[in-house]
Amino acid sequence: MKLIFERSRSGRGLGLLPPCDVPRCELPENARRTGRPALPEIGEIDLGRHYTELAKQTHGVNDGFYPLGSCTMKYNPRINEEMAALPGFTGIHPLQEEQTAQGCLEVLYRTQKALGEITGMDAVSLQPAAGAHGEYTGLLLIRAYHQARGDLARTKIIVPDSAHGTNPASAVMAGFKVVNVPSDEHGFVDLDGLRAAMGPDVAGLMLTNPNTVGLFDPNIRTITDIIHEAGGLCYYDGANLNAVMGIARPGDMGFDCVHVNLHKTFSTPHGGGGPGSGPVGCKEFLAPFLPGPVAEKKGDTYAFAVPAQSFGRVRTFCGNFLVVVRALTYILSLGKEGIPAAAQGAVLNANYLMKKLADGGYEMAYPGICMHEFVMTLEELKKETGVSALDVAKRLLDFGIHPPTMYFPLIVHEALMVEPTETESRETLDEAAEVFLKILDEAKNDPENLHTAPHRTPIGRPDEVTAARTPVLRWKAE
């Protein structure tokens, strides 16, 4: 399809922008453009068609099943949007006087409290703008803690080999050296390997639990004890919190700090720029280091406060505020009964779909009960038929299903990682299972049809290699 710049015709325009109703303010001469910006000029009808065409080329939760493992692509309830669109929230300015923004401050405060309760943490900062940003912030907390004690020898962060790639990346960004520890044959942290990595240079551990293969590590208390005995801190990556929210709390598992993804677990928009939000929570002893401002309640009024030894901001103002409004709406809609019920539904749905696929002939990387997601290995299927995880993923598109996460975690070969979430009905899961089994049948009888899939999408197989080797990121006028 054409870019909006290619649709542009000189002199066209539309009336969507209101007339200026504030006094004009001129920029200083040296900050002014010398020419007009090359913005597209387009009529309203063509603009509408352009974005409709773009929308038709995407797949969102409103289009169909979206079992993208570890991403928790759950339905985003409409009431979230209704609350976020309230004029008291949209018309606010972050530099307004606190006494004129009490409602917004209350939203921040109550969300901090609710997330603290759900994760078992004493203090929460809503600043981080996404999951990896939350990881980074959590690691800065760990660093600030060790530095404040004058313990500068702690330079290593322990990361299991099944971790999300963002974990080692965040640790390196925060100035740490990453030490990988292996998983055992069940997909859990290898305790001997973990003990062997301990020493006075260990700053902390980053762990996702349930882990990346969809299993709850039964040794979690032993793991966090091992780290604490070595003088390190434990960081909980909340990527998979959806499996346990309202049932098990990272704070009770021995973790000292966490991040949660509002765009996964708490039903705020995910993908396509979100924007995301990755609040960080911590135990009391880390609270003085949190990035500020955080919302506080004094008597009946709310105010911003910067924690005493804060290492500084990680984002402007107080994070993605309207995303926080959506998350609080979700938490209050579900309540203390609904939150654990959602987690239970997520686990039930994953096990239901896993059983159907396992019975139908798909090989599970770790057979048995899973948590909110499961990982299949198509290694044997590829050997037998030549059909890869990529082929199966591409073929799913033909049936209006977003592919699962592919080739991750790296410890499973030809991996497909499936996370249905609690918001899918039994009928949707049954239909998806049928499609998966039909594709398995095709793999055995008509593998060529899978190698060339998808057949019904606007774009078949984009050339990912050329796109990565020689990316074209900018359109330029002729």
- What 3-state DSSP class applies to 189? strand
Question: Cβ closer to other proteins: 169 or 348?
Answer: 169
- What 3-state DSSP class applies to 204? strand
Question: Applying CB under 8 A, which of residues 304, 352, 399, 407 lies at the interface with other proteins?
Answer: 407
Do residues 65 and 428 touch, judged by C-beta distance below 8 A? Answer: yes
Interface region with other proteins, contact rule CB under 8 A, candidates 103-111, 204-212, 333-341, 462-470: 462-470
Residues 364-383, one symbol each (x = binds other proteins by CB under 8 A, - = not), give -------------------x
Tell whether residue 236 is a contact of other proteins (CB under 8 A). Answer: no
Residues 143-172, one symbol each (x = binds other proteins by CB under 8 A, - = not), give ----------------------x-------
Tell whether residue 176 is a contact of other proteins (CB under 8 A). Answer: no
**CA 283 from chain center: how many Å?**
23
Q: How far is the CB of 156 from other proteins (least distance, A)?
A: 13
Nearest by Cα to 262 from 373, 371, 92, 133: 133
Nearest by Cα to 366 from 194, 216, 159: 216
Question: Cβ closer to other proteins: 144 or 378?
Answer: 378
Question: Applying CB under 8 A, which of residues 20, 25, 465, 473 lies at the interface with other proteins?
Answer: 465
Residue 83 to residues 79, 136, 185, 273, 346: CA-CA distances in angstroms? Answer: 6, 30, 47, 20, 25
Tell whether residue 399 is a contact of other proteins (CB under 8 A). Answer: no
Q: CA–CA separation, 21 vs 405, rounded Å?
A: 49
Q: What secondary structure letter does DSSP report for 360?
A: T
Edge-to-edge strands, sheet with 374-377: 374-377, 415-418, 405-406
Q: How far is the CB of 469 from other proteins (least distance, A)?
A: 5
Tell whether residue 386 is a contact of other proteins (CB under 8 A). Answer: no
Q: How far is the CB of 176 from other proteins (least distance, A)?
A: 14
Backbone torsion region of residue 421, taken as left when φ is above 0, otherwise alpha when ψ lies between -120 and 50, otherwise beta:
left
Backbone torsion region of residue 22, taken as left when φ is above 0, otherwise alpha when ψ lies between -120 and 50, otherwise beta:
beta
Tell whether residue 469 is a contact of other proteins (CB under 8 A). Answer: yes
Question: Cβ closer to other proteins: 38 or 410?
Answer: 410
Q: CA–CA separation, 405 vs 271, rounded Å?
A: 14
Peptide bond between residue 250 and the one before it cis (omega within 30 degrees of 0): no
Residues 272-311, one symbol each (x = binds other proteins by CB under 8 A, - = not), give ----------------------------------------
Question: Cβ closer to other proteins: 76 or 211?
Answer: 211
Question: Cβ closer to other proteins: 325 or 393?
Answer: 393
Q: 253 is written with which tokens?
A: 């598992």
> Which residues are at the interface with other proteins (CB under 8 A)?
165, 383, 406-408, 410, 464-465, 468-469
